[in-house]
Structure 1
Amino acid sequence: MASNGRRGRPTPMDPACCSRIEQLGWDLGGVGMDQGTVRGGWRISEVERLLGLGRRDIQRACYGGRGGVAILDPTDTAWGRRTYDGHDLAQLFLVGQLRRRGLSLPEVKAEFEGSRAAGRTVEDMLAVQVARLREQAEEVAGRLLQAEALLAAVGGDVGAVEGIVARHVRVQEALDPDLPSGDDGGRVPSPLAVLLAAPGLVDGPGMALAVDLWLGPGSSEAVRKAAEAAATREETIGESDEKKR
């Protein structure tokens, strides 16, 4: 077997020498990874670190005896150590989310039992969390936009306010392929042009205040009306063209 210079250490050129994670180590820097770290599950210390959930909550969520609530039942290894698989991590993530909302562990267990009784799976519960977190992220992004725009405006830097609006408009362009992002000549539309071409964009989280701070009081309402009028005209033209065919 080929060697890399270390006694008994195969090289990554041997397809049988490495796990996927060890091969990644070689690809990134030529340094192999200890095969002992590659396991079929996560240890409790790793779950703590990855999910930010306290060890006591993890243990109580898994323990069915006194003081435990037995929400899940992870696997015990041949050495008597408990390991957690991906499904366990998903449930513990949900435990953490519910705990952050102020629920006690018995209340968290009741939430799980209620969901199961209603036929909802862990995937269903995760989907609810994804929707909630997305909504929270949008709210935070809106408040951040407002704070940034106000900070620039209070400092008298209108150019910075425009730049802040432009940055957030570009983010929306990346998320929505229907928004104008440039022409064949490579010219990029101004933030105002994008706002006028996209009814509802000015109503995004925090955007109305930022536009008013940029263009003056009442500007966001004017932009909204102009964008709606332009959309109505395009719709009317489209209907007229359809009738002519």
Structure 2
Amino acid sequence: MSKRELSGKCALITGGTRGIGRAVVAALAEAGADVAFSYRSSQAEADSIIGELERQGVWARAFRSDQSDPAAARQLVDSVMEAFGRVDILVNNAGLASLQRLGESRDYQEVDQLWAVNTFGVIATIRAVAHVMADDGRIITIGSVSGSKAGMATAADYCGSKAAVAGYTRGAAHDLAPRRITVNIIESGMMNTEMAHNMPEADQLRIRAGIPLKRFGDLTEIGGLVTFLASPAAAYITGATLTIDGGFSA
């Protein structure tokens, strides 16, 4: 696709200061979009990214927001509309990874937080954006292969939260199709993030062994997939689950 394919568009990325979110911010900015992104607490990182983008001539803004709070999701969208006047692309990236073996604890606070961020936060943000997004918009959620394949113990709550979002994507695609707004989900496998590299080496080797391509994904690869889905070339793709996991779920 053309390097400036998304010129004139405004993209909102939730959780944009690190890992996949930061890569998506960079990819959409390179494609010509103005970018707004949210962060929960890392203001220094947000300011650093804004400075970097502005030096590249990109119009960018960062907003502190709590994905687990529906009112904050609405306020985030309102703030982006006030600053940019439009939202053409939404990338739901903010999420939590929390593992807990069933029967280990009766404390549901951690489970509630997990679902509040991974599921209800995504829903709240999509609903808020749907009211203001222009026709021909793009909604892309960064999910996980855990939404369709558990692969391990301790992941039941996490898998459930991701599977629910995949189902919501298919329903939202029908609702927004009359306005030619596409709604898709990317189910990501293990990527080269800080979280992955902080895992014990034995766990990294075990996970790589189960991936047919025998490596973790590069963040530019998921950034490229998001950019494609945000582009005019993907106008006929909606309600779809696209997997990027090196063959892990094959």
> Whose helix fraction is larger, Structure 1's or Structure 2's?
1
Which TM-score tier does this pair reach, normalised by the shorter chain?
Answer: under 0.3
Structure possessing the higher radius of gyration over alpha carbons: 1
Give the TM-score normalised by structure 1. 0.22
> Whose strand fraction is larger, Structure 1's or Structure 2's?
2
Give the TM-score normalised by structure 2. 0.21
